[in-house]
Each structure stands twice: as C-alpha cells, then as structure tokens.
Structure 1
Amino acid sequence: MTARPVARVLLDSPLPQLDRLFDYAIPSEWERDAAPGVRVRVPLRTAGRVVDGYLVERVEEEPGDRPLSELDAVVSSVPVLTPSLYALARRAADRAAGSASDILRLVIPKRMVRAEKAWSAAPTPEAPVVEPSSTAWADRVLAAFPGLAAGIDEGARLAVEAPARPAGVADGSVTVGAWAELLAAAAVHTLAQGRSAVLIVPDHRDQAQLEAALAARVPEAAVVRLDARQPSPARYAGFLRALDPVPCIVVGSRSAVYAPVHAPGLVAVWDDGDPLLSEPLTPGVHARDAALVRQELDGCALLFAGHTRTTDVERLVAVGWVRDVAPARRSSPRVVLSATREGESRGARVPSAAFAAAREALASGPVLVQVARPGYAPVLVCAECRRPARCAHCAGPLHAARPGAVPECGWCGRAANGWACPHCESPRVRMASSGSERTADELGRAFPGVRVIIADGEHQVLRVDARPALVVATRGAEPIAEGGYRAVILLDGERMLLADDLRIGESCLRWWMNAAALAAPGSPVHLVGVAGPVARALATWTPAAYARAELADRAPLRMPPAVRVAALDGPADAVRRSIETLRDDVPEVDADDILGPVTGTDRPARALVRFDYGQGTRVADSLRSSVVSDALRARKAAKGRAPGARNTLRVRVDVPDLDL
C-alpha cells in the first residue's frame, strides 16, 4: 500500500482556536511545489471558504479511513517559513499566550511577485568578504570592553553600557553615536567569522546611524535593512535576501529580531527600554524577550547595549542569566545639577548657571535644549482659579498654538471660542507650560542673532551642522550634531518625573542619558531643577546601580520585572471564568496576586495576574486555553446571527506597568 503525502499547515488566521497544525492531502498537481515553508491556500470546511497558510512540514502517511481535504493551491514555491523561524514564532507565541500566526504576520512581509521573481532569477550571492582593516578596526573597538569579543565568539548573553559620546565614521563624513560604532564592530567581528548578525534598534534615526557606521566597513550587499517604513517591495526583497544561504548583517526595527538569517551568530538589541521595541499588536512580544528566546534556540550570542540599564536586563544580570561586561576605562559626560541660586526667582526656567553655559558654548557650536512637550503651550489653565482649561464638547485639554490665539482642543480639534471656566466663569486662560515652540521663542529673544532650530514630532530634524545654534528638541527627537553639542540643557525634568508611570524614573534617566551622550567630550550637561535618586544616577553616571535599587524596591511589592504580569480584558463573566480556570490550573498563584476584575463605564472588565517566572509556562497555557474556550463560546452564541464571531477575551502577558 503506497503512503500518501500529507502537508501539515499553519493557517494564517486571527482565531485562537485555529492556532495549530492541520493535515491536508497533497494532490498530484502540487506534489512538486508543496515543500516545507511555502505559502499555500487550503479549504476550511467549518467556515466554507479557502484561507491562506504556511506548509510547516510534509510527512508520509499510510492510507487509512481518515478523510483529508486537499491543498487548494501552492501560492509560491519560495520557502519563506524556515524551520528555525517557525520554532521561534511558536516558542515566543506560547510564552506570551498568543498565536504563532500573529507573530508570523508581523515578520513575513506581504508577497510581492516582482521582487520574488527577481530574487528567484538572481544567482545566490557570494559570501561577503571582510577586509583585514575592518576586522582590525572591529577588534580594536571591542577591546575597550575586555571579554566582549570572546563572549560573542562563545555565544554568551552579554550586557554593556555603551560609550556616551559622538564618534565619526571611517570616512569622516558624518557623526554617529559611539554606541553605533560598538554595535557595528560586533557585527563586523561576527561577519568575519562567517556568521550573520541581527541588530535591533527602536527607530529609523538609530537605524541610519548604524548603517552609516557599517557603510565603510563591510560590502554594501552584506547589509540588509528590514523595517516597516520601507516600501513593500523593498521590505520583501530584504526578507528574501535574509533567506539566502550566505551570512549577512540585518539592521531593523523590533520585528527584525525574527529575521531568518543564515548561520546566526549575534543578536544585538540597542536601548531595550525604548517603548518602540514593545510590540503593540497581539500577542505583544517585546523584542528583548524574542531575542532571549532566539538566543536559547539558535545558540548565538546576545548583546544588550544602552546608555542606561533597564530593570529587566539588570534582573537577568542579577540571576546570572546575562553577563555584565564592563569597559576597560570608564568615561562619562560632565553632568551639572543646576538649581536656582540665591536671588533668582524659583520659577526661573533656565537658572543662571545653565544660561551662562549656553552662552559660552554658543561661541563655538550648537547647544541642545531638551523639553518635555511639543507645541507652544501644551497646557492652559483658568487665569483665575488655575483649574485646567477643558473643551466644552469633549472635556479634552485646551492648548494654544501661539500667543493670543484662540485655544483649541487637543482631542477633537474644536476652537474654544467664547470659552468660560465652568467653576469660576472666568473667560481668561493662562499658559501653564511651555512646549518646544514657546521655549524656542523665549530663547530666541534671550539670544538675539542665534539660529534657533525646533526638533519634535512635527518638525523632524535628523542632523545639524557645527555652526552655533540653539536646538530645542523634545525627548527622543534630538538631532545629531556634527562633532557633538557644545552644551546640553535638560529642562522640564521635574515635570517629567511627575508622570503616573511605574517606570517613569527609568524613562527619565534614559531620556536624559541619551541626550547627554550627544554632547562633545568635555562639554557640560545641565540637568535643571531635579534632585533625588534619578538625578544622582545621571550625575554619577551609574545607571546599573539605579536599576538595582529600583529592583530592590519593587521586589517586596511584587511589581514587574520582579514578577511577570498578565492583563485580561473582556466581558466580566469571561474574565472571571479565566481567573477561576487559572486558579485550578496553577494553584501556586496567590489570591493577592490577582488584581480585579475592575469594570468601567467606558471599557470592558480588566484583571491583572502577577506570577513568578517559574510559573510562566503553566500560566500562559491556562490563559491561552481560556482565550480559545471563550472564542468557541462566542462563535457558538453567534452562530446563525453573525458571519464571523470574534473572540471577546484578550490576554497580554508581560505587561510592563500595573495599570488598572
């Protein structure tokens, strides 16, 4: 009796109950093209339609009584889903109580026929050759961190605090951060050994710096860019290039951590505290967690680098899972804690010391001024009672686009003509804060004749030259200055620290250190009006010590990352059923660690579950089973009334903040 070929297919579906492999018979017409990893279309009898999927594996099965539907079509003969990519997606999804297809939807770009044909017709590229001069440069850069090169070679998990200074690329054409030089050196060192490197950065600014640092060190064809900002054909072409059986260096955003490169030797994550590395789409796997899973599966080296140290990485260092690599010689920017002096107004936004430093620095180059918010006056208050000015239509905050302008709502955009305070009936408002535009206006009057450049979400500036200028930038939008800034002034620090966020101290330290790292060596960095542990950590440049202190404070309170946290959202009865199931499946989860469910008028019920790392697998399995059960229950209830029922219970594991 002849064995029949059977394809095991993962459906591309958001329905959690379909997150498993389905068996399909391979008809003779697709016998040749139905290889593991290709895109296929298969019938889904329960839905009465044809759906897309990936052929994960192919097996030979003895003919029997089990009826099997046949593959409808092989969409493409290109194996885009490699075995290692499927294993990584499956493992990451299971850890996050999610579906593998949801992860693959973020990783594998939409098929572009023209790009695919060009890739198929082109010969396999030759292995890139790294020149001896580039190898020597990489070894010299890595030597500043004793043990770093050896750790990369042995596939270790490493954490480093990157040098906080500007650096020039090989040809001297542009200035990049020294961190980009460090990551580029690690990638060149890996590529020279015939292995691939994957470099993950938060946004396109960081990506441009890395690409500039790599440009003169490795062949252009060896660097592959993968990010969502690319046009679809270019992104798909980059993904196909990563599939080639030759090593390369991938530079990309959070989803590039899954890039199916040949012979992975290094995965490096830059600035893992940046919220852009946290995937907002289901199942919400952070690039840091995906990198940890990949290192364990592939055996490659893993490098966490940043000017600061997140509590997540510091916890891994504390338990011995990640090795801390200290520099041979420690250097840091010259940080000054600026406060108002005797005789100065306490409301002075720029103290005299910071003002004098800016004036002196402007004689030789640009000065960076970091502010908290964009716009002119992000916050308006009643001029009489000082209560926040709110829109009469939607209760959104009012702001002013310029002095004397009619206030506008930040939510609905309506102009607040004839506004009156509902508490004291005053028709007048006053500005309670200064945004980037107002700060630029004020500093422009204080320094007449000096260029003023605004850099924020609406005014994107990537680089400034070495001529004197005042650069007013919001946090994270600071341009790179040629040769570095001659002074850095950090404003609004006290207001930043008032944000209602568990990690606000970490975030502020990261914002300030990243801005301070843009200063030229020896240039002053003034932090205005801030004291306390965060200011001391900046002044002494000890982010790891601050992260350890934060961990010690959170551990008794069982707050992340001392423990893991899962959030359950949905109808109150579905959330309660899920909690009851969890208590049965994982009795070790204490009742005090289940917060909620809390219901609100404008949102579904929500509950938070805190659990130890050792309980992660069982908790994720239990929550996943509850999601599937709820989806099946919703589908049954909607049968005959809706064309497609959606699951109503949503679960997200590893919530960074306890926010009910």
Structure 2
Amino acid sequence: MSDPRPRVARVLIDSPLPQLDRLFDYAVPDAFTAEALPGVRVKVPLRSAGRMVEGFIVDVGEPDSSDRPLSEIDAVVSAVPVLTPGLYALARRAADRAAGSASDILRLAIPKRMVRAEKAWLASPPVTTPEVHDAARAWAAASLAPFTGLGEAVSRGDRLALDAPPSTVRLPDGGEAGAWAVVLAAAAVHSLAGGRSAIIIVPDHRDRAQLEAVLAGRVAAEAIVRDDSQQSSPVRYAAFLRMLTPVPCIVIGNRSAVYAPVHEPGLIALWDDGDPLLAEPLSPGVHARDAALLRQELDHTALVFAGHTRTTDVERLVAVGWVREISTARRSSPRVVLSATREGESRGARVPSAAFAAARTALADGPVLVQVARPGYAPVLVCAECRHPARCLHCGGPLHATSQGATPECGWCGRAAPAWTCPNCSSTRLRMASAGSERTADELGRAFPGTRVIIADGAHPMSHVDARPALVVATRGAEPIAAGGYRAVILLDGDRMLLGDDLRIGESCLRWWSNAAALAAPGAPVHLVGVAGPVARALATWTQPAYARAELADRAPLRMPPTVRVAALEGDARTVSTALDALRNAVTELDDAAVLGPVDREGTVRALVRFDYALGAKVTESLRASVVRQALKTRRAKGRPTGPRNTLRVRVDVPDLDL
C-alpha cells in the first residue's frame, strides 16, 4: 500500500544567514508533484522569520518514519531546473573549504531569473550538437603540437601548469592576439571535438575578446557561450540556460564562470591566475583557482593553469606533484635589457640613454610601449621644502595634480586645495613626486616631437594599436596589443612598483613586466629601467618558475602563504577570543605560533591563524561553527542593549599576513 503522506523536498534556502546553511525538509503538495523536481527554484515558509523565502530543491525523497509535521512548499518559482547535482556538490565543497555558505557560492554561479528570457529560451528550437570540422581539428592539433603531449594530457584529464609563449599572433581576419589565446582556444576546440565542454576563465574583457577572436570561424558561434558580469541580466540568464542543455560548448568568462554547469566538462583553463581580478571579493571569497581545483576533482576534467609567469600557489602544486608543468619543446623569450643610468647621467633620470636610444631607433619602424606605474598626471604631490606628503585638509586624502600648474585636488573627496599649506613646515609650495601616464606622455611628446603619443589607462581604455610609429604610454595591465608587436618596450617606475607593501609584490611586478614584454615583436628590445635583484634577473633570463620556487623556499621557514593556509578572524575582542579558544580545542595540532594577534584595529579586533593544508577541514569546520554560534547569539540578543551586537567574520586563504 502506498504511503499517503506527501513526498519530501530537501531545500537549500537562499539566505546570507550562516545558521540557515543546511537542507530543510518541506512537504510537496499534490499540486506541485510534477514541477517540484531537484534543481528548481521554490518559495518556502521560514518559521523562524515568519516570511516566505526562495530556495533550491536539492533532492526529493520519500517521507521518513517520523510523524513530525512539515511545512509545505508555497510555490514553484520556475519549473526549469537550474541547480544541477554537480553544481550543488561544487558549491558545498567550495563553501566548506572557505568556512562559508553554499548559498553564497550559488548566488555567484546562478544568475537571477529573467522571466522573458526564460520564456524565449523555452520557446526556441533545441540546441544542436556543434560540429567541429576537419580544418578546425587540424588547426587545434597544429597549435598544440609545440607543447609535447598537451593534446593527450587534455584528453586524459591531467592537471597542468603551462608556460605561455611570450608573443602575439596575426589572425586570419588581420587582427592580433596573444599566443596564449591561441593555445587555450586550441585546447578548447580539442575538447569540443571529443564531445566534451571547455571552460576558459580570464581576468577581464580584453582577454575574453582575444579568445573570441581566435575562435571566430573555427567553431560555430552558437557553441561559444560568454559568461561574465558585463552582460545584461537577460542575456546572462539566457547564456546560463544554454549551458544547462545536454550539448557541449565552450564557455569564456570571468572568475564566476568556473561554476558554469556545462554538459560533460572536459577542460577548465585559467589564464593568468595571479591577476587580482580572479580573486572573489564577495563572501566566502573562493579564488577561481581554488574553485577550479575542486571542480577538477569532482568532474575529472583536464585543468590548465597558463601564464607568462607562475604564481607561488601553482608552483607549490607543481612541487608536491599535484600539477605537472608543461612547456614548448623549443623555448623562446623576449630580449630583456636591464637599463641603468650611465656615468655622467643624472641618477634621477627617468629614462636612461640606452632606453631612450632604443625608443628612438624603434620608432622608425613602428610603435613603442612605455609602461608606467600610475595613471593621471601627477598622482603624488609633496611639500617642495620638507618633502612631507601633501594631504587634503578636509579628509586627509592624498593630493594630486591633473595637469601642469593646475590646482591640486584630493584623490578621495575631490575637493580642490588652492591655498594649501604644509602642516609640517608651513610652506605653500608643492612638488610633483611622481609622474603618471599623462605626465609621462607629455614629457615624451616633447622629447620626440612629431611622434604620435597614445595614452592607455583606466580613463583611456584601448585594446589595439596599429603598426604606425607611436609612443604608447600605458599603465600596468592596460597595455594594448600592437599590430606585429611593439618594436621596443620600456618598463618605467619598476623601483616604485617594488616598494609596494605586499608580500607578493615581487610576483606582481614580474607578472606586470612579463605580460608587457610578451607584447614585443620578435627580437625587439625590452628595457627594464632602474631595477636589479632576483625579480629583474628572472625577467632578463625568462625564468619565472625558478623565481616562484625561490619565493616558496624563502617563505617556508617563515610559514608564509602559500606554504601554509591563513584564515583571518574579525569581530569584537570577546567574539574573536571565544572563536580562537574553540579552534584550539577542536584542532589540537595547532602550535602556539599558529595564531597571530589579536590586534585592535579601531574597535575591531583581527587575528590570523596559520595552518597546514592537511588541517584545513578541521580548521574551517571549527571556524564555521563559531560563525554560526555567534550569529545565533546576535539574533537572540536583538533588541537588548546589553546583548552582543558584533558578528564574527571569517576569511580563509587570505594572500598576505596583514594584521
């Protein structure tokens, strides 16, 4: 005899509250039996809040033997299953690893429902399996051939660290793209030809555009799915529905694309994983690299970390044997020159004579790239007498100049400072302490009269320049691609860049400089101005992996990331202390040096916990339990003036020991 009781749906509630990060049981009314399937959006009552909330059905099963009363599902928001079993498993794993909530991960992975886009998609013809023609297969094989065994490794599902060729490539349509884009696009086509999907994660829209340009004409446009935050909500939701179809595709997107629920994933590739744009700022802050590693384990796909440099995070994986490095059989590298001031030149000369001469010679043939540290005209102003930094009298922000002789302005509040007086020596004269992209362009324009000067920065975005002679002054990361490559590259402000207060500043500088050097034409000189030491040698010899290995070796005795994992705890003193005590009791393997702090930061206490990777599950479980306990205390104390009001905030895998 059949059970008369309704079936039970296990629902993950879409809520930022940590205490709700679990599955809740709801009865499925007879009216929703056909629609209430795993993966669909539903509305359910939340007794503790006395309101309706949205959630996802994770599973539907038979009622258990208990007679406990269950609330019923109030409504099925959409009959389209948007939460696949694989996506839920990945979200759960990623959240547990970061001591966060699965719903926070799904909020990044699943776009908001757009009713019109959904109806249009349901009414459209079924998606057909994309055909990869023989010409595209041959192109992919030829593009992967310089990397010995790369095609076979992708087919096997290997984990690889790939050193990208430092050059640009002319495309059939006359455009230009980085050689890295050709390699990753070819790997994606190789995967698609085998009937499996590919996901390529890139930092920004310029990288995405290069991949799309390389793939144009190789595979059908319908097989390429874009997934990034720059899309409108209806377009992004339609793209998400396309991924859910049982037809393979190639997804190109930013950091959240790592969660794309594609059919039969065969390849996940990350370009330039050291770029901060791939670090998720929203809770729980799972880096795209870590999410890709988790997904590779779950889906048994190939995983490729590609870049002109190698982060210490990837190098650690190579060192432990989890990732295998692969490079071209015939290695090529730019011609890097370490430029310094010569005898008789002013030590303050920004462009040494050797670099100046190289630029003059190269301008006869084509464009020259000049990389600078900052945008604007004069990003930093100081007192002309005592060199004290010039600060706004209203908010304390730094003053900067927008042009020669212009009234200084505050970089924070935007107020002008026409009558500035130094609080240190009472002087009223200001001095430009640095030169941004606009001032550098102005100075070089006077040094090279009659030459085109192009500025490329955040305020003047540019993706490509032609092959005509020009001085292209670009901030780090904003360098456009030149047709045929730059005839010379000059890297300025390197000494200033290395002064950044960051554990990974050496890695970042090497990445900025290497990416710029990769835009040079074959044989063109790349001048690194005023920098010496290990970072400069790594660029000059093009041995970025060796630099990453040396960095790891230096950090290991000091227990610095990524040789260990680091979690940051923030809250009031009592909350943080209680969480640390609970952590020490739960994870007895932690030694006395594991905890740094707590340190008071203007009323908020912050502590860091260093722990080995093997202890990750125990540490994150304890920290998550403390977050839930504190959230429940805060809820119970609501409305009581003497009760605890502060919540505990936990961030795992912070990149630096910043107290």
TM-score by length of 2: 0.98
What secondary structure does 1:37 align onto? coil
Residues 195 and 248 in structure 1, CA contact (< 8 A), matched pair in contact too:
yes
* Cα distance in 2 for residues equivalent to 1:17 and 1:297: 26
**Any residues of structure 2 matched to 1:445-456 within 5 Å, and which?**
445-456=446-457
Once the two structures are TM-superposed, the CA of residue 305 in structure 1 deviates from its matched residue by 0.3
Q: Is the 8 A contact 2:255 2:288 kept in 1?
A: yes
**Which piece of structure 1 moves more, 394-403 or 606-615?**
394-403
Q: Could you tell me how far 1:641 is from its partner in structure 2?
A: 8.0
Q: Residues 389-423 of structure 1: CA distance to partner in whole angstroms, max 9, x if unpaired?
A: 11111111111111111111111111112111111
- Report the alpha carbon displacement of residue 336 of structure 1 after superposing the two structures with TM: 0.6
Shift of 1:143: 1.1
Letter of the aligned partner of 1:648 in structure 2?
A: T
What is the one-letter code of the residue matched to 1:75?
A: V
Partners in 2 of 1:136 and 1:489 — Cα distance? 38
Instruction: Find the counterpart in structure 2 of residue 242 from structure 1.
Output: 243
When residues 640 and 500 of structure 1 are mapped into structure 2, their CA distance, relative to the original with a 3 A threshold, is: closer
> What's 1:413 paired with?
414
CA distance in 1, matches of 2:35, 2:450: 69
In the TM superposition, residue 544 of structure 1 has moved relative to its aligned partner by: 0.3
Q: 1:534-589 deviations in whole A, cap 9, x for unaligned?
A: 00000000000000000000000000000000000111111111100000000111
Deviation at 1:443, TM superposition (A): 0.3
**What is the distance in 2 between the residues matched to 1:64 and 1:93?**
31
Structure 1 residues 180-199: aligned runs within 5 Å: 180-199=181-200
1:132 equivalenced with 2:134 (yes/no): yes
User: How far apart are residue 4 of structure 1 and its match?
Assistant: 2.6
Which residue of 95, 104, 107 corresponds with 2:106?
104
C-alpha deviation, 1:64, in angstroms? 4.2
* Secondary structure, aligned partner of 1:4: coil
Secondary structure, aligned partner of 2:7: strand
Moved beyond 4 Å, runs of 4+: 639-642
Counterpart position of 2:207: 206
Equivalent positions of 1:465-504 (< 5 A) are 465-504=466-505
1:384 aligns with 385
The corresponding residue for 1:332 is: 333
**Residue matched to 1:20:** 22
**Residue equivalent to 2:653:** 654
Tell me by how many angstroms 1:42 deviates. Answer: 0.3
Counterpart code for 2:80: V
Question: Aligned partners of 2:274 and 2:601: how far apart in 1?
Answer: 30
Superposed, 1:503-518 pairs within 5 Å as 503-518=504-519
Partner of 2:161: 159
In the other structure, the counterpart of 1:522 is 523
Q: Higher mean Cα deviation, 477-486 or 181-190? A: 477-486
**CA distance, structure 1, for counterparts of residue 362 and residue 40 of structure 2:** 59
**1:444-496 alpha-carbon deviations (Å, 9 max, x no partner):** 00011111111111111111111111110000011111111111100000000
Matched, 1:297 2:310: no
Q: Deviations over 1:176-204 (max 9, x none)?
A: 00000000000000000000000000000
- Quick one: distance in 2 between partners of 1:520 and 1:357? 14
Q: Is the CA contact (8 Å cut-off) linking 2:99 and 2:650 kept in structure 1?
A: yes
Q: Deviations over 1:4-63 (max 9, x none)?
A: 311100000000000000000001111111010000000001000000100111001156
1:3: how far off?
4.8
- Amino acid paired to 2:48: T
Unaligned runs of 5+ in 1: none
Quick one: distance in 2 between partners of 1:639 and 1:433?
Answer: 52
Whether the 8 Å contact between 1:6 and 1:59 is mirrored in structure 2 is yes
| 8 A contact 2:596–2:609 mirrored in 1 | yes
Letter in structure 2 aligned against 1:167: V
The answer for the alignment partner of 2:119 in structure 1 is 117
Aligned partners of 2:4, 2:299: CA distance in 1, in Å? 37
The CA deviation at 1:640 is: 7.1
SS in 1 for 2:637: helix
Aligned residue number for residue 278 of structure 2? 277
Give the structure 1 partner of residue 366 of structure 2: 365
**Post-superposition offset of 1:653:** 0.4
Spell out, residue by residue over 1:99-135, the C-alpha distance to the aligned partner (whole angstroms, 9 max, x if none): 0000000110011111111111223211111111111
CA shift for structure 1 position 656: 0.4
Matches within 5 A, 1:393-408: 393-408=394-409
Which stretch of the first structure deviates more once superposed, 55-64 or 286-295?
A: 55-64
In structure 2, the partner of 1:615 is 615
Secondary structure of the structure 2 residue equivalent to 1:359: helix
Are residue 177 (structure 1) and residue 156 (structure 2) matched? no
Task: State which drifts further: 253-262 or 3-12.
Answer: 3-12
8 Å Cα contact 2:6-2:29 kept in structure 1: no
Say if 1:176 and 1:209, in contact at 8 Å, map to a contact too.
yes
Amino acid at match of 2:473: V
Aligned: 1:87 with 2:89: yes
| Conservation of the 8 A alpha-carbon contact between 1:202 and 1:254 | yes
Residue type matched to 2:170 in 1?
Answer: G
Q: Residue deviations 1:500-549, cap 9 Å, x none?
A: 10000000000000000111111111000000000000000000000000
Q: Distance in 2 between matches of 1:578 and 1:64?
A: 36
Structure 2 match to 1:534: 535
Normalised by the length of structure 1, the TM-score is 0.98
Report what 2:221 is aligned to: 220
Amino acid in structure 2 at the alignment position of 1:354:
A
Question: Aligned AA for 1:418?
Answer: A
Greater shift, 122-131 or 322-331, is seen at: 122-131
Secondary structure at the aligned position of 2:78 is classed as coil
**Residue-pair matches, total:** 656
Quick one: distance in 1 between partners of 2:125 and 2:244? 13
Counterpart for residue 36 of structure 2: 34
Q: Does 1:253 align with 2:259?
A: no
Local SS of the residue matching 1:33 = coil
Out of 47, 51, 54, the residue aligned to residue 53 of structure 2 is: 51
In 1: Cα distance, 2:283 partner to 2:641 partner: 27
Structure 2 contact 572–646 (Cα < 8 Å) conserved: no
Question: Structure 2 CA distance, aligned partners of 1:239 and 1:428?
Answer: 57
Give, in whole Å, the separation in 1 of the partners of 2:79 and 2:126.
16
1:60 aligns with 2:62: yes
Letter in 1 for 2:97: R
Stretch deviating more after TM superposition (568-577 or 287-296): 568-577
Measured on the aligned residues, the alpha-carbon RMSD in Å equals 1.2
CA contact 1:15–1:647 (8 Å) conserved in 2: no
Q: How far apart in 1 are the matches of 2:139 and 2:104?
A: 41
SS at match of 2:180: helix
Check conservation: 2:571, 2:646, Cα contact below 8 A. no
Distance 1:606 1:64 in 2: 45
- Report if aligned partners of 2:365, 2:469 keep a CA contact under 8 Å in 1: yes
**Which residue pairs with 1:439 in the alignment?**
440
Structure 1 residues 133 and 646 mapped into 2: Cα distance closer, same or farther (>3 Å)? Answer: farther
Corresponding residue SS for 2:376: coil
CA shift for structure 1 position 208 = 0.4
Contact 1:377 1:401 survives alignment (8 Å): yes
Secondary structure of the corresponding residue to residue 389 of structure 1: coil
Cα–Cα, structure 1 residues 67 and 3, in superposed 2: closer, same or farther, change >3 Å? closer
Deviates more, 1:27-36 or 1:7-16: 27-36
Deviation at 1:386? 0.9
Going from structure 1 to structure 2, the CA distance change for 1:46 and 1:647 (only over 3 Å counts) comes to farther
**C-alpha distance in 2 between matches for 1:12 and 1:641:** 30
Q: Distance in 2 between matches of 1:257 and 1:377?
A: 39
The question of whether the paired residues in 2 share the 8 Å contact of 1:311 and 1:561 is answered with: yes
Q: Amino acid of the residue matched to residue 584 of structure 1?
A: N
* 1:173 positional shift: 2.2
- Secondary structure of 1:139's aligned partner: helix
